[in-house]
Amino acid sequence: MKVRVGVDLSVDEALLAGVGSEVQFVRIPEDPQGAIEIEFWVPALRPSIVRRQWQHLQGVRVVQLPWAGVDTLLKVFPPEVTLCDARGVHDIPTAEWAVTAILAMQKCLPFFLERQRQGKWALGQQSQQIDHPRPTKIKDPAAPMKEVAEATVLIVGYGAIGQAVGARLLPFGAKLELVGRTAHDGVEPVSNLDELLPHADIVVLTVPLTSETRHLLNAKRLMKMKPGALLVNASRGPIVETEALLQSLNAGRIRAALDVTDPEPLPEGHPLWQAPNLLLTPHVAGDSDRFMQRAFRLVREQVGRFSRGEALINVVKGEY
């Protein structure tokens, strides 16, 4: 008997090629009108639609998500359903976003982009950014240009994405400090975070959202950051306490680059939109024109393992 694998109607047929004849793909509409029997499901739409689809599915034994983070859907599926994440699918684009954000902020590109839109050539002492260097006889810089070389970069969450970020920063000459849930092979435990934060020039967050990591960067820890340091959040918005971050930004203590916020989507008129020293993108760090190819490469492997009765990879245990 063939394994029935559910995929969304929007999935390109070419992405399903290469799966053995023992597999039958079943298309799942956004609003199913009746019960659909499948054993393996690959939901790829936004969480609100996934919850709606789930109510019509029967016989599901495995759910393979195309995302690394599972926090939005963790409570949707019962314990008897094996939930798998997409560890490895988002590493490259998310790491590239993090490095891009770091370079953009170190080189004050948001400031210069605003001057470009105004049609103004930025000359000395125009910047309202923090940590502005004193004018010199040689040159009075328009903004506090910084380097990644020799900067201490603290990567909090040294999993697949954190490792990808670190690998791309090393060629720039950055000095890496690594934090994981527990200590291992040069990685400090998260319990040492308070001691590490004051020495970091750049702090990169790549941790999953769990009950342990919610507000990991709270008011107390944000105050421990070095004045002028850069906070880069490529994980989930609630990892950082929003009100405390706003206070730190408005006080000119730190800078930040956020791909995620709390709340999200960020509503119109929210004070984060106008916060100084902030680069903000709308949860796009993991996006890529190669995303679906990578995601369905994993899907094909997982479906093959399932059909052969082999152990699945990326199985979620607990909160991630």
Query: Active site residue: 115, 236, 253, 300, which one?
Result: 236
Annotate 239-308 with three-state secondary structure.
HECHHHHHHHHHCCCCEEEECCCCCCCCCCCCHHHHCCCEEECCCCCCCCCCHHHHHHHHHHHHHHHHHH
Does residue 37 carry a catalytic annotation?
Answer: no
Does residue 114 carry a catalytic annotation?
Answer: no
Residue 85 CA to residue 262 CA, distance in Å, equals: 22
Contact status, residue 222 vs residue 251, Cβ threshold 8 Å: no
Contact status, residue 217 vs residue 200, Cβ threshold 8 Å: no
Contact status, residue 71 vs residue 209, Cβ threshold 8 Å: yes
Provide the 3-class DSSP secondary structure of residue 179: strand
Strand ranges (DSSP E) for the chain? Answer: 3-8, 23-28, 36-37, 40-42, 57-58, 62-64, 82-84, 152-156, 175-180, 188-189, 202-205, 230-233, 255-258, 278-280
Distances from the Cα of 285 to the Cα of 84, 132, 180, 277, angstroms: 21, 29, 21, 19
**Helix-then-strand count for the chain, H and E:** 8, 14
Query: Active site residue: 283, 297, 301, 305, which one?
Result: 283
Residue whose tokens read 């019962």: 78
Query: Active site residue: 264, 290, 308, 310, which one?
Result: 264
| Active-site annotation, residues | 236, 264, 283
